[in-house]
Amino acid sequence: MSSGFFIFLVSSAILILLIGRAISVVRKEGNEPVRGSEPGEGVHTIHAEYSSGFSGHSTTYTIPRDPQAYAKRFVPKQKTD
């Protein structure tokens, strides 16, 4: 057997294994629910707390459910309408 044919066989076997693995992952993850939440009105409220033993910090974040309102938070103040 020539070395070129051997490399072809090994490369083909690896390609077949990768394709099979990709198909199995897509099938498995296709049944999982989509992450995130549906767009809508109102806000999500997130409570975050941190404690290092000596001191701590607690804050609350409000995130709009509307994608446009969420995106506007990233625009500098002088650029908003």
pTM of the predicted model as reported, rounded to 2 decimal places: 0.45
Examine residue 6 and state whether it is found in any structural domain, yes or no.
yes
Examine residue 36 and state whether it is found in any structural domain, yes or no.
no
* 63 in Cβ contact with 42 (< 8 Å): no
**Token pair recorded at residue 47:** 């409570």
**Whole-number pLDDT of residue 26:** 86
**Token pair recorded at residue 53:** 């033993």
**Token pair recorded at residue 12:** 């083909």
Q: What is the DSSP letter of 42?
A: S
Examine residue 3 and state whether it is found in any structural domain, yes or no.
yes
| Domain around 6 | 1-31
How many independent structural domains does the chain possess?
Answer: 2
Examine residue 64 and state whether it is found in any structural domain, yes or no.
yes
Examine residue 60 and state whether it is found in any structural domain, yes or no.
yes
20 pLDDT higher than 90:
yes
**Token pair recorded at residue 16:** 């077949």
Per-residue burial over 54-72, b = 16 or more CB atoms within 10 Å of its CB, e = otherwise:
eeeeeeeeeebeeeeeeee
